[in-house]
Amino acid sequence: MTSTPRNRGREQPSRFADGAASLPGQPVAPGGIGDLARYAAAFAYFLLACPEIRGIRSIILFGSVAQGRAGPSSDVDVLIDTPLPPSRARALRSSLERRKEAFLISQEGLAYKAQGVFNDLELTVGNLDGWEEMRSSLSAGAVVLFGPFTTRFAPEGLRHHLLIVWEGKGANRGALLNKLYGYGIQGKRYKGAIDRLSGEKIGKAAALIPMEHARAFMGILEHYGISYKVIEVFR
């Protein structure tokens, strides 16, 4: 499952993965999971207000963006998992394509264009139950944007992580950076929390942290009064 915005809170992950919709004004450079995943999450957030959401079980980011190997022209692949039968799923797809066009000209969608994000949102609609080819594709890396995907299809052989994106500003920014990234004194190097917790830096003010260490990492951000968002990731 995925989580809601946090500001020094202690709530556990819920059904929605926050992304760019929650981070207006931040630069988005087409490329990796810490960039275009926000764009996909903004679209998922847009769909939450649409009546079609009643027929959607999960919204899942997959493909090159979810795997962190996207390029500037990569499509943003989004799976719409639905329990609807094939005929109704086709109708749902047509409706969602219209919603996508509405999103692209919405204030949020235009904000991404202004930041240089023109990547196509490629929608795939179907029932993930019994869809072995798609489940195999997801096993290479997937990001849950909405829905109870993790409890139904936790991929075997993949490790559970949280992508944590935090505010880059704060009164104690220097101390926070030292705590997260480490520092050196008199020729000796001290590891930061990202390294100590077996994490990985993902762009500016973002890190991929194994789930078993995520609570400790979020506790550091909360200690410094830093707001943050999370996206659930398997890799």
Q: What is the CATH number of the domain that holds 92?
A: 3.30.460.10
Q: Is the pTM of this model over 0.75?
A: no
Digit-coded pLDDT (tens) for 71-129: 888 999 999 999 999 999 999 999 999 999 999 999 999 999 998 889 999 999 999 88
In a domain, 84, yes or no: yes
Helical (H) or strand (E) element with 228: strand 228-234
For the record, the structure tokens of 110 come out as 């235009």
Is 145 part of a structural domain of the chain? yes
73 within domain boundaries: yes
Mean pLDDT, rounded, for 125-145: 84
Domain membership of residue 119 (yes or no) is yes
Mean pLDDT over each residue of the chain, to the nearest integer: 81
For residue 2, tell me if it sits in a domain: no
Which residues lie across from 123 on neighbouring strands? 78
Distance CA 220, CA 166 (A): 11
Report if residue 208 sits inside a domain. no
Count: domains in the chain: 1
Question: By residue range, what is the domain housing residue 114?
Answer: 20-160
Note whether residue 218 is domain-resident. Answer: no
User: pLDDT of 213-234, one tens digit each?
Assistant: 999 999 999 999 999 988 888 7
Q: Is residue 108 part of a domain?
A: yes
Residue 91, CA distances (Å) to 66, 80, 84, 88, 125 in order: 27, 13, 10, 5, 10
